[in-house]
Structure 1
Amino acid sequence: MRGPIAPPQVPLSVSRADAFTDLVYDSRDRLERRWPQLTQVDFLVLEVPGFGLDGDPDPLVEEEGVPLGRVLPSGGGYRDRIVIYRRPVEIRTKNRDERALLVHEVVVEQVAELLGLAPESVDPRYGQE
């Protein structure tokens, strides 16, 4: 018998990439309640840093090593964007709970950079979990 092991609505059929994107969006949703201006920010997930969304080499990789995320200010017809890099985050975590915590920390750090605030101001629980 051929076909999927589980129907699409069952969590078993969610890919790792989709599950990671869900973690990013969950963090975004938590922060939007406190910071409504985040509804005007695009949150993106890329596999790895290396090239910007425009195809040019990512200067952060050359300067600072491997980033977990970054802020791309508005311009060129785009809104402000926050990018989270999936593979570097996954490599640094052992399980889903650790991954969820690290994703949230990275999202908070990027939002803080975008808003010009300390991460603790963006989420008072930052660094405590």
Structure 2
Amino acid sequence: MDTPAPPSPAAPGPRPGPRRRDRHGRGMRGPVAPPQVPLSASRAEVFADLVQDSVERLERRWTQLAEIDFLVLEVPRLDPSAADGGWSDDSVPLGGIVPAREGRPARVVVYRRPVEIRTKGRDERAALVHEVVVEQVAELLGLTPETVDPRYGED
């Protein structure tokens, strides 16, 4: 009886393990950029960083901001109980506040999509985010935006 010969080490066939090449043999596919490079940050993460930068800038002057939660939401919610549905076609809010109550801290909310739609680049977006944060903090504290940030409106 003939026994089959063992496969030679150079015999073609599937390779064991998860490593695979693309069909053109150009090598492993991987991420476009490593995680520490800004290219790999999502738009939502970049926007949250802009809000955080603005808050840190204001916290140097207003230490009580440490007790306020700052949130980023995609879009404002419609309030069907309001006469105009919560907001009109002419004005979509860019931010809002939720006063402190029942042991919950006050909240400042910045709406990402309305801000992004109104800006073209990162610098313009950062300026608008800062304006929204300043306006909401001013409303929450019962102050004018110029009091919260003396450079408000100069950009």
The residue identity in structure 2 corresponding to 1:116 is: G
SS where residue 114 of structure 2 aligns? helix
Are 1:109 and 2:135 an aligned pair? yes
Equivalent residues in 2 for 1:62-77, closer than 5 Å: 62-63=86-87, 65-77=91-103
Quick check: 2:69–2:105 contact (8 Å CA) kept in 1?
yes
Quick check: 1:112–1:118 contact (8 Å CA) kept in 2?
yes
* Identity in percent: 69
Runs of 4 or more consecutive aligned structure 1 residues displaced over 6 Å after TM superposition: none
- Cα shift at 1:2: 2.2
Are 1:122 and 2:148 an aligned pair? yes
Q: TM-score w.r.t. structure 1 length?
A: 0.90
1:85 corresponds in structure 2 to 111
Q: TM-score w.r.t. structure 2 length?
A: 0.75
| Structure showing greater relative contact order (alpha-carbon pairs closer than 8 Å, 6 or more residues apart) | 1
Q: List gaps (5 residues or longer) in structure 1.
A: none
1:6 corresponds in structure 2 to 33
RMSD: 1.9
- Cα shift at 1:66: 1.1
2:63 corresponds in structure 1 to 36
Q: List gaps (5 residues or longer) in structure 2.
A: 1-27
CA distance in 2, matches of 1:101, 1:108: 11
- Cα shift at 1:77: 3.7
SS where residue 62 of structure 1 aligns? coil
In the TM superposition, what whole-angstrom CA distance separates every residue of 1:76-96 from its partner, at most 9, and x where no partner exists? 442100000000000000110
The residue identity in structure 1 corresponding to 2:124 is: E
Q: Work out the number of aligned pairs and report it.
A: 125
CA distance in 1, matches of 2:116, 2:87: 22
Larger radius of gyration: 2
CA distance in 1, matches of 2:67, 2:31: 38
Q: 1:123 to 1:77 in 2, by over 3 A?
A: same
Q: 1:68 to 1:42 in 2, by over 3 A?
A: same
Q: Which has the higher helix share?
A: 1
CA distance in 2, matches of 1:91, 1:20: 13
1:18 corresponds in structure 2 to 45
